[in-house]
Amino acid sequence: MKKVYKAHILFTKEKSRFEVLENGYVAVENGKVTGVSTDLAQLDSEGAEVIDFGNKLLIPAMNDMHVHAPQVHNQGVAMDLELLPWLQNYTFPEESKYADVSYAERMYRRFLHTQWLFGTMRSVVFGTVHTESTRKLMNLYKEAGMGALVGKVAMNRNCPDALCEDVDAYVEGQESLIAEANSSLFTLHSSLPPLVRPIITPRFVPSCTPDLLNACGELAKKYQLPVQSHLSENTSEIAWVAELEKESTSYGDAYNRYGLFGQTPTIMAHCVWTNGSELELMKRNRVMVAHCPTSNFNLSSGLAPVRTFLDEGLPIGLGSDISGGHDLNMFRMLVYAIQVSKMHYQQDKSKAFLTLPEIFWIATKSAGSFFGKVGSFEPGYEFDALVIDDGVLYPDEYSLPHRLERFIYLGDDRQIVHRFCRGEEIKEPALV
Protein backbone atom coordinates (compact mmCIF):
# COMPACT_ATOMS: atom_id res chain seq x y z
CA MET A 1 0.00 0.00 0.00
CA LYS A 2 1.44 3.32 -1.12
CA LYS A 3 1.30 6.22 1.31
CA VAL A 4 2.34 9.84 1.04
CA TYR A 5 3.02 11.87 4.19
CA LYS A 6 2.85 15.66 4.10
CA ALA A 7 4.59 17.81 6.73
CA HIS A 8 7.62 20.07 7.15
CA ILE A 9 10.36 17.56 6.42
CA LEU A 10 13.93 17.80 7.76
CA PHE A 11 16.76 15.29 7.41
CA THR A 12 20.51 15.19 6.79
CA LYS A 13 21.60 13.72 3.48
CA GLU A 14 25.00 15.34 4.07
CA LYS A 15 26.54 16.00 7.47
CA SER A 16 27.11 19.66 6.63
CA ARG A 17 23.47 20.77 6.40
CA PHE A 18 19.80 19.95 6.82
CA GLU A 19 17.57 19.22 3.85
CA VAL A 20 14.48 21.30 4.59
CA LEU A 21 11.22 20.78 2.70
CA GLU A 22 8.55 23.21 3.85
CA ASN A 23 5.18 21.57 3.23
CA GLY A 24 6.99 18.62 1.70
CA TYR A 25 5.85 15.13 0.75
CA VAL A 26 7.49 11.78 1.31
CA ALA A 27 6.17 8.74 -0.55
CA VAL A 28 6.48 5.32 1.10
CA GLU A 29 5.87 1.84 -0.29
CA ASN A 30 6.79 -1.59 1.12
CA GLY A 31 8.50 0.05 4.09
CA LYS A 32 10.79 2.21 1.97
CA VAL A 33 10.89 5.81 0.81
CA THR A 34 10.21 6.04 -2.93
CA GLY A 35 10.52 9.81 -3.25
CA VAL A 36 10.63 13.11 -1.38
CA SER A 37 9.65 16.49 -2.81
CA THR A 38 7.77 19.74 -2.21
CA ASP A 39 5.81 18.98 -5.37
CA LEU A 40 3.36 16.09 -5.10
CA ALA A 41 3.29 15.79 -8.91
CA GLN A 42 7.00 14.86 -8.84
CA LEU A 43 6.24 11.73 -6.81
CA ASP A 44 4.80 8.47 -8.00
CA SER A 45 1.68 8.97 -5.90
CA GLU A 46 -1.09 7.57 -8.07
CA GLY A 47 -3.50 5.63 -5.90
CA ALA A 48 -1.60 6.57 -2.74
CA GLU A 49 -3.29 7.52 0.50
CA VAL A 50 -2.15 11.06 1.40
CA ILE A 51 -1.78 11.75 5.13
CA ASP A 52 -1.43 15.42 6.02
CA PHE A 53 0.37 16.25 9.28
CA GLY A 54 -0.20 19.99 8.79
CA ASN A 55 2.25 22.28 10.58
CA LYS A 56 4.15 19.43 12.24
CA LEU A 57 7.76 18.35 11.62
CA LEU A 58 8.66 15.00 10.06
CA ILE A 59 12.18 13.76 10.82
CA PRO A 60 14.08 10.45 10.81
CA ALA A 61 13.66 8.34 13.97
CA MET A 62 16.44 7.85 16.52
CA ASN A 63 18.94 4.96 16.69
CA ASP A 64 20.50 3.98 20.03
CA MET A 65 23.77 2.30 19.07
CA HIS A 66 24.88 1.16 22.54
CA VAL A 67 22.56 0.39 25.41
CA HIS A 68 22.21 -2.16 28.21
CA ALA A 69 18.53 -3.12 28.50
CA PRO A 70 18.99 -4.97 31.86
CA GLN A 71 20.36 -1.83 33.47
CA VAL A 72 17.05 0.02 33.23
CA HIS A 73 16.44 -0.42 36.96
CA ASN A 74 19.83 1.19 37.75
CA GLN A 75 19.17 4.26 35.61
CA GLY A 76 20.23 7.33 37.57
CA VAL A 77 21.75 5.27 40.42
CA ALA A 78 25.36 5.16 41.72
CA MET A 79 26.69 7.95 39.56
CA ASP A 80 29.51 8.62 42.04
CA LEU A 81 31.69 5.68 40.94
CA GLU A 82 34.14 5.01 38.15
CA LEU A 83 33.75 2.12 35.72
CA LEU A 84 35.29 -0.88 37.49
CA PRO A 85 33.83 -0.46 41.03
CA TRP A 86 30.50 0.54 39.47
CA LEU A 87 30.40 -2.74 37.52
CA GLN A 88 31.22 -4.87 40.58
CA ASN A 89 28.88 -3.14 43.03
CA TYR A 90 25.84 -2.24 40.93
CA THR A 91 25.80 -3.60 37.41
CA PHE A 92 26.68 -7.23 38.00
CA PRO A 93 24.29 -7.70 40.98
CA GLU A 94 21.40 -6.25 38.94
CA GLU A 95 22.17 -8.35 35.86
CA SER A 96 22.26 -11.48 38.04
CA LYS A 97 18.51 -11.01 38.64
CA TYR A 98 17.83 -11.75 34.95
CA ALA A 99 18.14 -15.47 35.60
CA ASP A 100 14.47 -14.96 36.47
CA VAL A 101 12.61 -14.54 33.16
CA SER A 102 9.56 -12.95 34.78
CA TYR A 103 11.74 -10.24 36.38
CA ALA A 104 13.43 -9.80 32.98
CA GLU A 105 10.11 -9.42 31.20
CA ARG A 106 8.87 -6.78 33.65
CA MET A 107 12.05 -4.72 33.30
CA TYR A 108 12.43 -5.22 29.53
CA ARG A 109 8.88 -4.03 28.95
CA ARG A 110 9.71 -0.91 30.96
CA PHE A 111 12.86 -0.42 28.90
CA LEU A 112 11.13 -0.81 25.51
CA HIS A 113 8.31 1.46 26.53
CA THR A 114 10.79 4.24 27.38
CA GLN A 115 12.62 3.77 24.09
CA TRP A 116 9.29 4.01 22.28
CA LEU A 117 8.36 7.19 24.17
CA PHE A 118 11.54 8.91 23.00
CA GLY A 119 11.24 7.79 19.39
CA THR A 120 14.11 5.29 19.34
CA MET A 121 13.11 2.84 16.61
CA ARG A 122 16.40 0.91 16.24
CA SER A 123 18.86 -0.26 18.86
CA VAL A 124 22.07 -2.19 19.25
CA VAL A 125 21.46 -3.67 22.66
CA PHE A 126 23.14 -5.76 25.35
CA GLY A 127 21.04 -8.32 27.21
CA THR A 128 22.63 -10.51 29.90
CA VAL A 129 24.32 -13.94 29.83
CA HIS A 130 20.90 -15.57 30.28
CA THR A 131 19.60 -17.19 27.10
CA GLU A 132 15.90 -17.26 28.05
CA SER A 133 15.80 -13.64 29.17
CA THR A 134 17.58 -12.62 25.98
CA ARG A 135 15.03 -14.58 23.95
CA LYS A 136 12.32 -12.68 25.81
CA LEU A 137 13.94 -9.35 24.92
CA MET A 138 14.12 -10.32 21.24
CA ASN A 139 10.48 -11.36 21.26
CA LEU A 140 9.38 -8.13 22.94
CA TYR A 141 11.11 -6.12 20.18
CA LYS A 142 9.39 -8.28 17.54
CA GLU A 143 6.03 -7.77 19.22
CA ALA A 144 6.58 -4.01 19.35
CA GLY A 145 7.71 -3.83 15.68
CA MET A 146 10.87 -1.95 16.64
CA GLY A 147 14.25 -2.89 15.14
CA ALA A 148 17.09 -4.27 17.27
CA LEU A 149 20.31 -6.21 17.20
CA VAL A 150 20.13 -8.07 20.51
CA GLY A 151 23.17 -9.49 22.30
CA LYS A 152 23.31 -12.43 24.66
CA VAL A 153 26.36 -11.39 26.66
CA ALA A 154 29.45 -13.62 26.69
CA MET A 155 31.44 -13.49 29.96
CA ASN A 156 33.33 -16.11 31.97
CA ARG A 157 35.94 -14.39 34.13
CA ASN A 158 36.29 -11.53 36.60
CA CYS A 159 32.60 -11.58 37.32
CA PRO A 160 30.30 -13.08 39.98
CA ASP A 161 29.51 -16.80 39.59
CA ALA A 162 25.91 -15.99 38.70
CA LEU A 163 27.08 -14.24 35.51
CA CYS A 164 29.83 -16.68 34.51
CA GLU A 165 28.94 -19.02 31.70
CA ASP A 166 31.43 -21.54 30.35
CA VAL A 167 32.32 -21.59 26.68
CA ASP A 168 30.21 -24.63 25.71
CA ALA A 169 27.11 -23.33 27.47
CA TYR A 170 27.58 -19.93 25.84
CA VAL A 171 27.88 -21.42 22.35
CA GLU A 172 24.87 -23.68 22.87
CA GLY A 173 22.69 -20.81 24.14
CA GLN A 174 23.82 -18.44 21.41
CA GLU A 175 23.24 -21.02 18.67
CA SER A 176 19.71 -21.68 19.93
CA LEU A 177 18.92 -17.95 19.61
CA ILE A 178 20.49 -17.84 16.15
CA ALA A 179 18.51 -20.89 15.01
CA GLU A 180 15.29 -19.35 16.22
CA ALA A 181 16.01 -16.03 14.50
CA ASN A 182 16.86 -17.85 11.26
CA SER A 183 13.74 -20.00 11.41
CA SER A 184 11.47 -16.99 11.85
CA LEU A 185 12.70 -15.15 8.81
CA PHE A 186 9.16 -14.02 8.26
CA THR A 187 9.20 -10.32 7.71
CA LEU A 188 6.47 -8.03 6.48
CA HIS A 189 8.62 -6.94 3.54
CA SER A 190 10.47 -10.00 2.34
CA SER A 191 13.15 -8.02 0.49
CA LEU A 192 14.42 -6.77 3.85
CA PRO A 193 16.22 -8.68 6.64
CA PRO A 194 14.34 -9.38 9.90
CA LEU A 195 14.00 -6.31 12.13
CA VAL A 196 15.27 -8.21 15.16
CA ARG A 197 18.49 -10.21 14.89
CA PRO A 198 21.20 -11.53 17.23
CA ILE A 199 24.57 -9.79 17.57
CA ILE A 200 27.69 -11.44 19.00
CA THR A 201 28.44 -9.70 22.30
CA PRO A 202 31.61 -10.37 24.30
CA ARG A 203 31.13 -8.02 27.28
CA PHE A 204 34.71 -6.70 27.10
CA VAL A 205 38.15 -8.30 27.09
CA PRO A 206 38.55 -8.47 30.92
CA SER A 207 35.29 -10.50 31.17
CA CYS A 208 36.24 -13.11 28.54
CA THR A 209 39.00 -15.74 28.47
CA PRO A 210 40.86 -16.23 25.17
CA ASP A 211 38.77 -19.42 24.61
CA LEU A 212 35.55 -17.49 24.93
CA LEU A 213 36.75 -14.64 22.67
CA ASN A 214 37.74 -17.27 20.15
CA ALA A 215 34.31 -18.90 20.32
CA CYS A 216 32.67 -15.49 19.78
CA GLY A 217 34.81 -14.85 16.70
CA GLU A 218 33.97 -18.31 15.32
CA LEU A 219 30.23 -17.76 15.76
CA ALA A 220 30.37 -14.33 14.11
CA LYS A 221 32.17 -15.86 11.13
CA LYS A 222 30.08 -19.01 10.88
CA TYR A 223 26.72 -17.20 10.96
CA GLN A 224 27.94 -13.89 9.47
CA LEU A 225 26.64 -11.99 12.47
CA PRO A 226 27.63 -8.50 13.58
CA VAL A 227 29.69 -7.90 16.72
CA GLN A 228 29.45 -5.37 19.55
CA SER A 229 31.58 -4.68 22.59
CA HIS A 230 33.35 -1.97 24.62
CA LEU A 231 36.67 -0.38 23.71
CA SER A 232 39.15 1.99 25.37
CA GLU A 233 36.65 3.57 27.74
CA ASN A 234 38.72 4.12 30.88
CA THR A 235 42.47 4.29 31.54
CA SER A 236 42.42 1.63 34.32
CA GLU A 237 40.50 -0.69 32.02
CA ILE A 238 43.03 -0.18 29.19
CA ALA A 239 45.92 -0.98 31.56
CA TRP A 240 44.09 -4.14 32.68
CA VAL A 241 43.58 -5.30 29.07
CA ALA A 242 47.27 -4.70 28.31
CA GLU A 243 48.06 -6.97 31.29
CA LEU A 244 45.64 -9.69 30.14
CA GLU A 245 46.46 -9.65 26.42
CA LYS A 246 50.21 -9.16 26.38
CA GLU A 247 50.65 -10.05 22.72
CA SER A 248 48.19 -7.44 21.48
CA THR A 249 49.51 -4.11 20.26
CA SER A 250 46.37 -2.27 21.43
CA TYR A 251 43.03 -2.96 23.07
CA GLY A 252 41.42 -3.01 19.60
CA ASP A 253 44.07 -5.42 18.38
CA ALA A 254 43.03 -7.83 21.18
CA TYR A 255 39.55 -8.08 19.58
CA ASN A 256 41.05 -8.19 16.11
CA ARG A 257 43.13 -11.25 16.94
CA TYR A 258 39.94 -13.17 17.71
CA GLY A 259 38.04 -12.03 14.57
CA LEU A 260 35.94 -9.54 16.51
CA PHE A 261 37.04 -6.26 14.95
CA GLY A 262 35.46 -5.65 11.55
CA GLN A 263 35.70 -9.19 10.14
CA THR A 264 31.89 -8.87 10.27
CA PRO A 265 30.16 -5.49 10.83
CA THR A 266 31.38 -4.33 14.25
CA ILE A 267 30.44 -1.57 16.63
CA MET A 268 32.56 -0.59 19.62
CA ALA A 269 31.28 1.62 22.42
CA HIS A 270 33.25 4.60 23.78
CA CYS A 271 36.73 4.71 22.15
CA VAL A 272 37.47 7.63 24.49
CA TRP A 273 41.22 6.95 24.42
CA THR A 274 41.49 5.50 20.90
CA ASN A 275 44.37 6.86 18.86
CA GLY A 276 47.45 5.76 16.93
CA SER A 277 47.49 2.16 15.71
CA GLU A 278 44.07 1.40 17.23
CA LEU A 279 42.50 4.25 15.26
CA GLU A 280 44.25 3.09 12.08
CA LEU A 281 42.98 -0.46 12.60
CA MET A 282 39.43 0.79 13.11
CA LYS A 283 39.64 2.79 9.89
CA ARG A 284 41.03 -0.14 7.97
CA ASN A 285 38.41 -2.56 9.32
CA ARG A 286 35.49 -0.05 9.15
CA VAL A 287 34.65 -0.51 12.83
CA MET A 288 31.86 1.83 13.95
CA VAL A 289 32.23 3.95 17.09
CA ALA A 290 29.21 4.18 19.41
CA HIS A 291 29.84 7.51 21.12
CA CYS A 292 28.20 7.63 24.57
CA PRO A 293 28.69 11.15 25.95
CA THR A 294 26.64 10.84 29.15
CA SER A 295 28.24 7.59 30.18
CA ASN A 296 31.69 9.06 29.54
CA PHE A 297 31.14 11.99 31.84
CA ASN A 298 29.09 10.15 34.51
CA LEU A 299 31.86 7.56 34.95
CA SER A 300 34.59 10.21 34.59
CA SER A 301 36.03 8.28 31.67
CA GLY A 302 37.07 11.21 29.49
CA LEU A 303 36.06 13.16 26.38
CA ALA A 304 35.93 11.07 23.20
CA PRO A 305 37.64 12.75 20.21
CA VAL A 306 34.58 12.71 17.95
CA ARG A 307 35.87 15.46 15.63
CA THR A 308 38.93 13.30 14.93
CA PHE A 309 36.70 10.28 14.17
CA LEU A 310 34.61 12.38 11.78
CA ASP A 311 37.66 13.86 10.03
CA GLU A 312 39.20 10.40 9.70
CA GLY A 313 35.98 9.11 8.11
CA LEU A 314 35.26 6.50 10.79
CA PRO A 315 31.64 5.33 10.91
CA ILE A 316 30.03 6.67 14.08
CA GLY A 317 26.72 6.64 15.94
CA LEU A 318 25.39 7.70 19.35
CA GLY A 319 24.57 5.49 22.32
CA SER A 320 22.71 6.16 25.57
CA ASP A 321 24.68 3.42 27.39
CA ILE A 322 22.31 3.24 30.34
CA SER A 323 23.04 2.92 33.14
CA GLY A 324 26.55 4.36 32.78
CA GLY A 325 24.51 6.91 30.87
CA HIS A 326 21.45 8.15 32.75
CA ASP A 327 19.14 9.10 29.90
CA LEU A 328 17.32 7.06 27.21
CA ASN A 329 16.23 10.20 25.35
CA MET A 330 18.43 10.18 22.25
CA PHE A 331 17.56 13.80 21.41
CA ARG A 332 19.22 14.80 24.68
CA MET A 333 22.18 12.65 23.59
CA LEU A 334 22.64 14.96 20.59
CA VAL A 335 22.85 17.92 22.97
CA TYR A 336 25.24 16.12 25.34
CA ALA A 337 27.48 15.12 22.41
CA ILE A 338 27.68 18.74 21.26
CA GLN A 339 28.47 19.87 24.82
CA VAL A 340 31.20 17.23 25.23
CA SER A 341 32.72 18.30 21.91
CA LYS A 342 32.74 21.91 23.15
CA MET A 343 34.67 20.88 26.28
CA HIS A 344 37.07 18.93 24.07
CA TYR A 345 37.48 22.06 21.93
CA GLN A 346 38.50 24.01 25.04
CA GLN A 347 41.38 21.55 25.47
CA ASP A 348 42.34 21.45 21.80
CA LYS A 349 41.30 24.42 19.69
CA SER A 350 42.43 22.68 16.50
CA LYS A 351 39.42 20.35 16.80
CA ALA A 352 36.22 22.27 16.05
CA PHE A 353 33.17 21.37 18.10
CA LEU A 354 30.24 19.54 16.47
CA THR A 355 27.44 21.43 14.76
CA LEU A 356 23.77 20.46 15.00
CA PRO A 357 23.58 19.11 11.40
CA GLU A 358 26.72 17.05 12.04
CA ILE A 359 25.41 15.45 15.21
CA PHE A 360 21.96 14.91 13.66
CA TRP A 361 23.64 13.16 10.71
CA ILE A 362 25.70 11.02 13.12
CA ALA A 363 22.57 10.01 15.07
CA THR A 364 20.45 9.23 11.99
CA LYS A 365 22.08 8.47 8.65
CA SER A 366 25.53 7.50 9.91
CA ALA A 367 24.27 5.33 12.79
CA GLY A 368 21.48 3.91 10.62
CA SER A 369 24.00 2.51 8.14
CA PHE A 370 24.66 -0.29 10.66
CA PHE A 371 21.12 -1.59 9.95
CA GLY A 372 21.20 -1.15 6.15
CA LYS A 373 19.63 1.92 4.56
CA VAL A 374 18.16 3.62 7.61
CA GLY A 375 18.23 7.20 8.90
CA SER A 376 17.45 9.34 5.86
CA PHE A 377 14.48 10.09 3.59
CA GLU A 378 16.37 9.56 0.35
CA PRO A 379 14.69 7.07 -2.01
CA GLY A 380 15.52 3.48 -1.07
CA TYR A 381 15.83 4.23 2.65
CA GLU A 382 13.57 2.42 5.09
CA PHE A 383 10.94 4.80 6.42
CA ASP A 384 11.86 5.21 10.11
CA ALA A 385 10.30 8.50 11.11
CA LEU A 386 8.88 10.68 13.86
CA VAL A 387 6.18 13.33 13.67
CA ILE A 388 6.86 16.23 16.03
CA ASP A 389 4.11 18.55 17.22
CA ASP A 390 6.07 21.49 18.62
CA GLY A 391 2.96 23.64 19.12
CA VAL A 392 3.95 24.43 22.73
CA LEU A 393 7.34 25.80 21.60
CA TYR A 394 5.93 28.86 19.74
CA PRO A 395 6.72 27.47 16.27
CA ASP A 396 5.38 30.49 14.39
CA GLU A 397 8.26 32.64 15.68
CA TYR A 398 11.02 30.42 14.26
CA SER A 399 12.45 29.04 11.01
CA LEU A 400 12.07 25.28 10.43
CA PRO A 401 15.72 24.44 11.36
CA HIS A 402 15.34 26.50 14.55
CA ARG A 403 12.07 24.72 15.35
CA LEU A 404 13.92 21.41 15.11
CA GLU A 405 16.81 22.75 17.20
CA ARG A 406 14.40 23.97 19.90
CA PHE A 407 12.66 20.59 19.97
CA ILE A 408 16.04 18.84 20.33
CA TYR A 409 17.19 21.17 23.14
CA LEU A 410 13.89 21.83 24.93
CA GLY A 411 11.42 19.16 23.88
CA ASP A 412 10.59 15.71 25.23
CA ASP A 413 8.43 12.71 24.41
CA ARG A 414 5.21 14.73 24.72
CA GLN A 415 5.91 16.37 21.36
CA ILE A 416 6.42 13.04 19.53
CA VAL A 417 2.97 12.25 18.18
CA HIS A 418 3.65 9.46 15.62
CA ARG A 419 6.45 6.93 15.32
CA PHE A 420 7.25 4.77 12.27
CA CYS A 421 9.66 1.89 11.84
CA ARG A 422 10.15 0.37 8.39
CA GLY A 423 6.99 2.12 7.17
CA GLU A 424 4.70 0.83 9.92
CA GLU A 425 3.25 3.08 12.59
CA ILE A 426 4.46 1.79 15.97
CA LYS A 427 1.84 1.90 18.70
CA GLU A 428 2.58 2.16 22.41
CA PRO A 429 3.98 -1.18 23.68
CA ALA A 430 2.27 -2.68 26.69
CA LEU A 431 4.01 -2.29 30.06
CA VAL A 432 2.60 -5.55 31.45
CA–CA gap between residue 352 and residue 345 (Å, rounded):
6
Instruction: Give residues with Cβ within 8 angstroms of 40, minimum separation 6.
Output: 4, 6, 25, 50
CA–CA gap between residue 405 and residue 427 (Å, rounded):
26
CA–CA gap between residue 344 and residue 353 (Å, rounded):
8
Q: Is the distance from CB of 326 to CB of 355 less than 8 angstroms?
A: no
The residue among 237 and 321 lying less far from Zn ion, judged by its C-beta, is 321
Q: Which stretches of the chain bind Zn ion, using CB under 5 A?
A: 269, 321
Q: Give 362's DSSP letter.
A: I
The residue among 127 and 395 lying less far from Zn ion, judged by its C-beta, is 127
Q: Is the distance from CB of 152 to CB of 197 less than 8 angstroms?
A: no
For 10, how many CA atoms within 13 A lie in the half-sphere containing its CB? 22
Closest CA to 281 of 302, 266, 292: 266
Least spacing, CB of residue 295 vs Zn ion, in Å: 7
Interhelix angle 210-223/167-183, nearest 10 degrees? 20
Q: Give 366's DSSP letter.
A: I
CA–CA gap between residue 72 and residue 74 (Å, rounded):
5
Least spacing, CB of residue 235 vs Zn ion, in Å: 17
Least spacing, CB of residue 290 vs Zn ion, in Å: 8
Least spacing, CB of residue 49 vs Zn ion, in Å: 42
| Preceding omega of 323 cis (within 30 degrees of 0) | yes
Least spacing, CB of residue 325 vs Zn ion, in Å: 8
The residue among 153 and 269 lying less far from Zn ion, judged by its C-beta, is 269
Phi and psi for 166 in degrees, rounded to 5? -75, 170
Beta-bridge mates of residue 25: 6, 37
The residue among 95 and 424 lying less far from Zn ion, judged by its C-beta, is 95
Least spacing, CB of residue 56 vs Zn ion, in Å: 34
Least spacing, CB of residue 376 vs Zn ion, in Å: 27
The H-or-E segment that residue 405 falls in is helix 400-410
> How big is the CA angle at 66 (ends 61 and 68), to the nearest 5 degrees?
110
Least spacing, CB of residue 123 vs Zn ion, in Å: 13
The residue among 219 and 269 lying less far from Zn ion, judged by its C-beta, is 269
The residue among 27 and 340 lying less far from Zn ion, judged by its C-beta, is 340
Which residue's CB atom is positioned nearest to Zn ion?
321
